C-alpha cells in the first residue's frame, strides 16, 4: 500500500487520549497537477503557480492547499468548523499561516456530489471564500465534481472578491469536466474584462467561438454581454464581428441585442449596418422599444431612405409613442429635402400635438421644404410667422433661407429689409447673404440698387459681377467691374474670363 501513496499525512487521534501521531501516505497527484498547472500563455489566463517557502508569500488561495493535509480523526468525522454559518474574515491577509496550513483539506465523510454541491453553493453565496475553496479542493482531491450551479456560484464568489487567478483555475477545471455553461463564460469574461481589460476578455471570447465543442454554449445572454462591453469600449468593428458570429451560431438576438447594435452603429455613423440590424430585428419578429425605433428613424434618414423612416415613425404613432424632438426634426428635414413638403408639415403638426416646441432647426427644415418645392411665397409667409411667434429662434440659417426665397422671387425690397434686420441684430453677415440680395435685385431688374448694396469686398464684387454676366446685364457688370478696379480690389480668374467678353482690354 505504501508504494502507491505519494505524500505524508498526519493523523491526530484525540478521542483515544493518545498523544502519538500516526503517519500514512495518500496519493494526491490529481489535485497537485490541477493547482500547479498553467492554463495557457494567453493574457486572460491565470499566472503560473510558484511554490514559496516563505510563510508570508502572497500566493493564491489554491496554492495554500498543497501538499500538506491535516485531518482530525475521531469516532465521527465532522465538517470543518469554517463550514458553519458564522462570520469569516476573508480579507485578513495577515492571519497566521498555521490557521490555513492546519485546515487545508478535510476528510469528506459525505460522498454525494449533489449534497456537497449544495453546501458549496451555500458557502459561495455567503462569500466565505476560504471555506468554499477548502470544500472545493477536498472534493477535487476525492475525485468529486460539483454541479454546474455550484461551480458558477464559486466562480461568482471568487470574482466578487477579485480572486481572478483562482477563478480561472476553477473555470479551467469546469471546462475539463464539461461543466461549463453560457453563464459560466458570462461570469469569467466579465471578471477578465474588469481585471485585465477588454482586449483580454475579447481574446478569450474568440477562443470560445473557435472551439467547436464550446461554441454551442455561447447563448443569447453571453453575446449581449460582449456587445455591451464593445459599446462601453466604443468599438463598433468588434460589435459587427460578434453580431456575424452570433448569426453563424444560429443564435437569434432579442430586444437587447438589436438595441445595442442599432444605437451603436448609429452613434458611429455606420448607417447601413444600423439599417441592416433593424430590418433583421423586424424579420425575426422582435418587438422594438421606443429607443430602438428612434435610432431606426435616424438611421433611415441618414441613409437617405425617408420612406422607411416614415414607416417606422407611423408605427410609433400607432403605438402612441412620443419620439424626441431630434427625431421629428430629422424626419421633417429628410422629407423636405426629398420634395415631400405636405408630409413634412403633417409630421410638424403631429409634433405640435404631442407638445414639442419647434426649434430653429425645425423652422429651417420647413423653410427648406417649401423652397425645394418652389413654394417661395409660402416660405416668406412662414418666415414672417416665425418673426411674430418665435423671434428668439431666428438665426443666420433662417435668415439666409428667407433670402433665398427673396432671390428666387425677385423681392429685393423684402430682401433689403431682412438684410438690415440682420445688421441690426449684430449678426456677422456672410458674403452669401449679400449675394442673395444682389440676386434679388437682378431678378427684380434693379441693378442700381445692387450697385449701391455692394460694400468694398472683393468676394462680393466678384459674385455680383459674375451674377450680372450670367444674366447678360452687360452695362451693370462693366460698371461694377470698373468700380471694383478703382477701389483696388482683385478680380478672380472667373470674373476676368467673363469680362473678356465685354471689354476689349482689361
pLDDT tens-digit series, residues 435-484: 788 778 877 777 667 666 676 677 777 877 777 777 777 777 787 788 77
Contact 293, 282 (CB under 8 A): no
Which residues pair with residue 12 across a beta bridge? 21, 72
Q: CB burial class (10 A; 0-12, 13-18, 19+) of residue 285?
A: exposed
Which pLDDT belongs to residue 104? 64
Give me the percent of the chain exceeding a pLDDT of 90: 33
Which pLDDT belongs to residue 26? 35
Which residues pair with residue 25 across a beta bridge? 8
What is the rounded average pLDDT of the residues 404-419? Answer: 87
Contact 73, 12 (CB under 8 A): yes
Query: In degrees rounded to 5, what are phi and psi of residue 42?
Result: -70, 160
What is the rounded average pLDDT of the residues 363-381? Answer: 92
Other beta carbons less than 10 A from residue 259's beta carbon: 23
Which pLDDT belongs to residue 267? 93
Region of poorest pLDDT, from 170-179, 267-276, 356-365? 170-179
Other beta carbons less than 10 A from residue 256's beta carbon: 18
Which pLDDT belongs to residue 477? 79
Q: Which residues contact 216 (CB under 8 A, 6 or more apart)?
A: 249
Q: CB burial class (10 A; 0-12, 13-18, 19+) of residue 422?
A: buried
Binning pLDDT at 50, 70 and 90, where does residue 207 land? confident
pLDDT tens-digit series, residues 28-54: 333 334 344 344 445 555 554 443 333
Per-residue pLDDT at 151 exceeds 80: yes
Binning pLDDT at 50, 70 and 90, where does residue 363 land? very high
Per-residue pLDDT at 421 exceeds 90: no
Region of poorest pLDDT, from 84-88, 108-112, 215-219? 84-88
Per-residue pLDDT at 347 exceeds 70: yes
Per-residue pLDDT at 295 exceeds 90: yes
What's the whole-model pTM score? 0.70
The Cα–Cα gap between 209 and 362 comes to: 48
Please provide the average confidence, as pLDDT, over all residues in the chain. Answer: 76
Positive/negative CA dihedral, 330, 336, 339, 345: positive
Which pLDDT belongs to residue 219? 87
The Cα–Cα gap between 171 and 179 comes to: 9
Q: Which residues contact 468 (CB under 8 A, 6 or more apart)?
A: 442, 447, 450, 474, 476, 477, 480
Range ranked top by mean pLDDT from 16-20, 113-117, 351-355, 458-462: 351-355
Positive/negative CA dihedral, 360, 366, 368, 374: negative
Amino acid at each position: 500500500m505504501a508504494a502507491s501513496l505519494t505524500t505524508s499525512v498526519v493523523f491526530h487521534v484525540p478521542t483515544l487520549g493518545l498523544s502519538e501521531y500516526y503517519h500514512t501516505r495518500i496519493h494526491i497527484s490529481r489535485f497537485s497537477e490541477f493547482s500547479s498547472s498553467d492554463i495557457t500563455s494567453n493574457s486572460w489566463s491565470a499566472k503560473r503557480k510558484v511554490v514559496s517557502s516563505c510563510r508570508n508569500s502572497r500566493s493564491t488561495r489554491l496554492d495554500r492547499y498543497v501538499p500538506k493535509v491535516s485531518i482530525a480523526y475521531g469516532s465521527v468525522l465532522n465538517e470543518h468548523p469554517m463550514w458553519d454559518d458564522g462570520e469569516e474574515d476573508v480579507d485578513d491577509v495577515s492571519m497566521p499561516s498555521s490557521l490555513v496550513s492546519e485546515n487545508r483539506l478535510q476528510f469528506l465523510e459525505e460522498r454525494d456530489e449533489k449534497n456537497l454541491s449544495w453546501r458549496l453553493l451555500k458557502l459561495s453565496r455567503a462569500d466565505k471564500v476560504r471555506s468554499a475553496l477548502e470544500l472545493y479542493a477536498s472534493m477535487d482531491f476525492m475525485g468529486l465534481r460539483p454541479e454546474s450551479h455550484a461551480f458558477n456560484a464559486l466562480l461568482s464568489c471568487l470574482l466578487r472578491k477579485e480572486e481572478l487567478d483562482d477563478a480561472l483555475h476553477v473555470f479551467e477545471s469546469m471546462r475539463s469536466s464539461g461543466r461549463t455553461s453560457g453563464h459560466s463564460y458570462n461570469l469569467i469574461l466579465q471578471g477578465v474584462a474588469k481585471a485585465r481589460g477588454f482586449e483580454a476578455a475579447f481574446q478569450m471570447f474568440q477562443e470560445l467561438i473557435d472551439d467547436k465543442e464550446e461554441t454551442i454554449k455561447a447563448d443569447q445572454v453571453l453575446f449581449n454581454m460582449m456587445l455591451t462591453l464593445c459599446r462601453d469600449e466604443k468599438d463598433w468593428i468588434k460589435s459587427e464581428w460578434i453580431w456575424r458570429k452570433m448569426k453563424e451560431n444560429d443564435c437569434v438576438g432579442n430586444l437587447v441585442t438589436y438595441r445595442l447594435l442599432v444605437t451603436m452603429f448609429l452613434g458611429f455613423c455606420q448607417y447601413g449596418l444600423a439599417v441592416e440590424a433593424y430590418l433583421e430585428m423586424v424579420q425575426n419578429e422582435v418587438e422594438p422599444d421606443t429607443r430602438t425605433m428612434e435610432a431606426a428613424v435616424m438611421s433611415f434618414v441618414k441613409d437617405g431612405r425617408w420612406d422607411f423612416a416614415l414607416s417606422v415613425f407611423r408605427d410609433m404613432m400607432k403605438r402612441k409613442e412620443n419620439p424626441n424632438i431630434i427625431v421629428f426634426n430629422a424626419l421633417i428635414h429628410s422629407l423636405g429635402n426629398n420634395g415631400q413638403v405636405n408630409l413634412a408639415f403633417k409630421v410638424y403638426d403631429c409634433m405640435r400635438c404631442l407638445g414639442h416646441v419647434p426649434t430653429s432647426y425645425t423652422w429651417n427644415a420647413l423653410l427648406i421644404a417649401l423652397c425645394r418645392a418652389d413654394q417661395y411665397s409660402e416660405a416668406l409667409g412662414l418666415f414672417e410667422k416665425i418673426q411674430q411667434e418665435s423671434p428668439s429662434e431666428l438665426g443666420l440659417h433662417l435668415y439666409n433661407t428667407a433670402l433665398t426665397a427673396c432671390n428666387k422671387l425677385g423681392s429685393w425690397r423684402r430682401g433689403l429689409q431682412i438684410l438690415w434686420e440682420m445688421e441690426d441684430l449684430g449678426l456677422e453677415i456672410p458674403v452669401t447673404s449679400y449675394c442673395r440680395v444682389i440676386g434679388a435685385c437682378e431678378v427684380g431688374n434693379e441693378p442700381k440698387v445692387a450697385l449701391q448694396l455692394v460694400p468694398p469686398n472683393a468676394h462680393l464684387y466678384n459674385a455680383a459681377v459674375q451674377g450680372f454676366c450670367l444674366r447678360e446685364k452687360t452695362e451693370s457688370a462693366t460698371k461694377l467691374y470698373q468700380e471694383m478696379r478703382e477701389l483696388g480690389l482683385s478680380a478672380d480668374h472667373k470674373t476676368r474670363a467673363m469680362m473678356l467678353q465685354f471689354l476689349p482690354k482689361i
